Amino acid sequence: VLASVAGVALLAAAMLWFAVQLRMLVAAEPGCPDPHAYVPGCEAFVQRFQGMSGWAQGLLYLSWGAPFGMGLVLGVPIVAREVEGRTAGMTWTLSRSRARWLAGRIAFAALVLVALLAIVVLASGQLAAAIVPNLQLERDFTWIGRRDWLIVARGLAALGIGALVGTLVGRQLPGLLAAGFASVLLFTGMSLAMDRWNETLAIITDPYATPDGFVDGSLGLGGAIELPSGELVPYAEITADEQYQDETGAIYTRWDEETGQADPDSFVGWDRVRIIPGQQYQVVLARDSGVTLGVGMVVIGGSLVAVVRRRPA
181 counts as binding another protein under rule CB under 8 A:
yes
177 counts as binding another protein under rule CB under 8 A:
yes
DSSP letter (8 states) at residue 213: S
222 counts as binding another protein under rule CB under 8 A:
no
Please identify, among the stretches 118-126, 173-181, 201-209, 301-309, the one whose residues bind another protein according to the rule CB under 8 A: 173-181
φ and ψ of 103, to 5 deg: -60, -40
Per residue in 283-311, is it b (16+ CB within 10 Å) or e — as a string? ebbebbbebbbebbeebbebbbebbeebe
Of 9, 129, 103, 23, which is closest to residue 62 (Cα–Cα)?
A: 9
Provide, rounded to whole angstroms, the least separation between the CB of residue 190 and another protein: 19
84 counts as binding another protein under rule CB under 8 A:
yes
Q: How far is CA 94 from the centre of its chain?
A: 42
In angstroms, rounded to a whole number, what is the distance separating the alpha carbons of residues 7 and 15?
A: 12
244 counts as binding another protein under rule CB under 8 A:
yes
Of 225, 226, 273, 270, which is closest to residue 250 (Cα–Cα)?
A: 270
Q: Which of residues 28-47 bind another protein (CB under 8 A)?
A: none
Judged by CB under 8 A, how many residues of this single chain contact another protein?
A: 24
Whichever of 36 and 86 has its CB closer to another protein, that residue is: 86
Of 144, 199, 193, 164, which is closest to residue 77 (Cα–Cα)?
A: 164
264 counts as binding another protein under rule CB under 8 A:
no
292 counts as binding another protein under rule CB under 8 A:
no
259 counts as binding another protein under rule CB under 8 A:
no
Instruction: Yes or no: say if 225 and 271 are a contact pair by the CB < 8 Å rule.
Output: yes
Q: How far is CA 74 from the centre of its chain?
A: 21
242 counts as binding another protein under rule CB under 8 A:
yes
Whichever of 47 and 282 has its CB closer to another protein, that residue is: 47
Which one of residues 85, 104, 189, 223 is an interface residue with another protein (CB under 8 A)?
85
φ and ψ of 270, to 5 deg: -115, 150
Whichever of 72 and 276 has its CB closer to another protein, that residue is: 72
Provide, rounded to whole angstroms, the least separation between the CB of residue 207 and another protein: 17
Please identify, among the stretches 166-174, 186-194, 201-209, 215-223, the one whose residues bind another protein according to the rule CB under 8 A: 166-174
Which one of residues 134, 136, 191, 239 is an interface residue with another protein (CB under 8 A)?
239
φ and ψ of 213, to 5 deg: 80, 5
Which residues, 6+ apart, have CB-to-CB distance to 257 below 8 Å?
none
283 counts as binding another protein under rule CB under 8 A:
no
Which one of residues 8, 32, 128, 169 is an interface residue with another protein (CB under 8 A)?
169
241 to 32, 203, 253, 254, 275: CA distances (angstroms): 47, 28, 8, 9, 27
Provide, rounded to whole angstroms, the least separation between the CB of residue 59 and another protein: 15
Task: List residues near another protein by CB under 8 A.
Answer: 3, 73, 76-77, 81, 84-86, 169, 171-174, 176-178, 181, 236, 239-242, 244, 255
